[in-house]
């Protein structure tokens, strides 16, 4: 496996000098953040990111994310043009050594949480989603600003998008995803890049917006849309694992054996009876996911893709981007390294 760490570029309070000190840190996962979805990434920016990372003894060979413009997901008039731009971005990344590109096909919003700094008994804070904080919200009527949501939309734009997705429905979204994949995967194949789709987080509809990258049947359907080694998953244990219907170790074993996991996001979640969930430290003992079984499945199926510790808690007084502090993610990386070493030695 290739250990990696997400870095938000020069505005990230965590320095590359610190990231490189985490044992076994190989790759920095990043993106060009000052370019809007639907625009091409300037080559100078990609080249600069690459040299900054390399000057710090690591590789820039994985991108998270190239965002997919809403008009592609909605299949609107300029979707073809926007897909062309997307293909150009794949080519540009490949030119600078990128081997894996993460993206998602979630309508309007990426992940959804109700609070980003829920304090646990030990004083650490983490991201949570509590249904009692969600249930009375109606995005078509209320002004909703959930933490982490794209603040560049006005409330009217959000309402318009939500109703457009409501009309599109799941099958419409599948159709637009298929069209997108049929254009981008041949380009990725040509460039030697694996495209890794991130599951919907959480993996069920919210506010009536369709969500399709959610469960085993849908992941099977996704992989068959274009049956190519470049059409892969970013298997996020926390996103799939916050629904009790997903057996995450089983899914990891199955898709890794098929060679269709390009990237693993490893994160813990603690499920509550009403479907609410809390993020927590990475260890198996901290939540519902058995990390030993997950790593064992990867090792036994010969996984050689990228891994990163996903969201950590804020601990030791650290402040910064929720979920993306240094300390708890570094603890997560150390723990994941340990699980891999134990499983690899146990296998021999």
Report the residue number, 2 or 198, with the smaller CB distance to ligand DNO: 198
Contact 72, 165 (CB under 8 A): no
Rounded CA-CA distance 141/159 in Å is: 8
Report the residue number, 71 or 104, with the smaller CB distance to ligand DNO: 104
- Rounded to the nearest whole angstrom, what is the least distance from the CB of residue 324 to ligand DNO in the complex? 7
Rounded CA-CA distance 260/235 in Å is: 10
Rounded CA-CA distance 227/223 in Å is: 6
Binding residue (CB under 6 A) for ligand DNO from 103, 174, 306, 340: 103
| DSSP class per residue in 249-263 | HHHHHHHHHTT-EEE
- For β-strands 268-271 and 125-129, DSSP reports them as unpaired
Rounded CA-CA distance 228/189 in Å is: 8
Is 343 one of the annotated active-site residues of the chain? Answer: no
Set 61, 311, 335, 343: catalytic member: 311
Report the residue number, 22 or 240, with the smaller CB distance to ligand DNO: 240
Report the residue number, 72 or 343, with the smaller CB distance to ligand DNO: 72
69 Cα distance to chain centroid: 16
Interface with ligand DNO by CB under 6 A: which range of 16-24, 92-100, 101-109, 253-261?
101-109
- For β-strands 261-266 and 231-236, DSSP reports them as parallel
**Long-range contacts made by residues 84-90, C-beta under 8 angstroms, separation at least 24?**
85/38, 85/39, 85/40, 86/180, 86/183, 86/184, 87/183, 87/184, 87/187, 88/40, 89/40, 89/41, 90/66, 90/184, 90/187, 90/188, 90/191, 90/193, 90/195
Interface with ligand DNO by CB under 6 A: which range of 45-53, 102-110, 248-256, 274-282?
102-110
Is 278 a binding residue for ligand DNO by CB under 6 A? The answer is no
Binding residue (CB under 6 A) for ligand DNO from 102, 214, 215, 280: 102
Report the residue number, 100 or 343, with the smaller CB distance to ligand DNO: 100
- Rounded to the nearest whole angstrom, what is the least distance from the CB of residue 235 to ligand DNO in the complex? 11
Name the closest residue to ligand DNO (Cβ).
Answer: 65
Is 65 a binding residue for ligand DNO by CB under 6 A? The answer is yes
Strand intervals (E) in the chain: 2-6, 27-30, 59-64, 100-104, 115-119, 125-129, 194-198, 231-236, 261-266, 268-271, 277-280, 306-309
Is 265 a binding residue for ligand DNO by CB under 6 A? The answer is yes
- What does the buried/exposed string (b/e) look like for 299-313 if buried means 16 or more CB atoms within 10 Å of the residue's CB? bebebebbbbbbbbb
- Rounded to the nearest whole angstrom, what is the least distance from the CB of residue 55 to ligand DNO in the complex? 25
- Rounded to the nearest whole angstrom, what is the least distance from the CB of residue 289 to ligand DNO in the complex? 15
Would you give the binding string for ligand DNO spanning residues 192-211, x where CB under 6 A is met? ------x-------------
- Rounded to the nearest whole angstrom, what is the least distance from the CB of residue 136 to ligand DNO in the complex? 25
Report the residue number, 196 or 299, with the smaller CB distance to ligand DNO: 196
Is 165 a binding residue for ligand DNO by CB under 6 A? The answer is no
Is 214 a binding residue for ligand DNO by CB under 6 A? The answer is no
Interface with ligand DNO by CB under 6 A: which range of 12-20, 87-95, 104-112, 336-344?
104-112
Rounded CA-CA distance 104/63 in Å is: 12
Catalytic residues: 198, 236, 265, 310-311, 324
Q: Which residues bind ligand DNO (CB under 6 A)?
A: 64-65, 102-104, 110-111, 198, 236, 265, 311, 323
């Amino acid at each position: 496996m290739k250990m990696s760490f997400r870095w938000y570029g020069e505005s990230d309070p965590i320095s590359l000098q610190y990231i490189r000190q985490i044992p076994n840190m190989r790759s920095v996962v990043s993106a060009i953040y000052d370019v809007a979805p639907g625009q091409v990434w300037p080559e100078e920016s990609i080249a600069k990111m690459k040299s900054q990372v390399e000057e710090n003894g690591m590789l820039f060979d994985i991108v998270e994310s190239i965002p997919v413009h809403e008009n592609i997901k909605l299949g609107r008039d300029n979707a073809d043009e926007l897909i062309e731009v997307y293909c150009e971005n794949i080519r540009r990344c490949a030119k600078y050594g990128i081997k894996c590109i993460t993206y998602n096909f979630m309508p309007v919003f990426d992940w959804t949480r109700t609070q980003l700094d829920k304090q646990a008994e030990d004083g650490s804070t983490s991201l949570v989603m509590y249904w009692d904080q969600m249930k009375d919200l109606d995005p078509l009527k209320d002004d909703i600003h959930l933490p982490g949501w794209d603040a560049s939309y006005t409330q009217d734009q959000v309402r318009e998008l939500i109703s457009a997705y409501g009309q599109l429905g799941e099958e419409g979204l599948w159709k637009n995803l298929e069209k997108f994949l049929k254009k981008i995967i041949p380009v990725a194949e040509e460039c030697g890049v694996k495209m890794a789709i991130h599951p919907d987080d959480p993996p069920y509809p919210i506010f009536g917006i369709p969500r399709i990258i959610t469960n085993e049947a849908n992941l099977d359907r996704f992989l068959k849309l274009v049956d190519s080694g470049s059409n892969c998953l970013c298997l996020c244990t926390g996103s799939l694992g916050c629904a009790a219907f997903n057996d995450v170790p089983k899914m990891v074993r199955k898709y890794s054996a098929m060679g269709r996991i390009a990237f693993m996001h490893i994160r813990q979640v603690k499920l509550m009876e009403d479907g609410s969930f809390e993020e927590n430290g990475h260890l198996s003992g901290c939540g519902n996911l058995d990390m030993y079984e997950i790593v064992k499945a990867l090792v036994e199926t010969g996984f050689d893709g990228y891994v990163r510790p996903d969201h950590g808690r804020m601990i030791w007084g650290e402040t910064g981007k929720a979920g993306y502090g240094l300390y708890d993610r570094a603890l997560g990386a150390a723990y994941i390294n340990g699980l891999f070493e134990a499983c690899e030695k146990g296998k021999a």
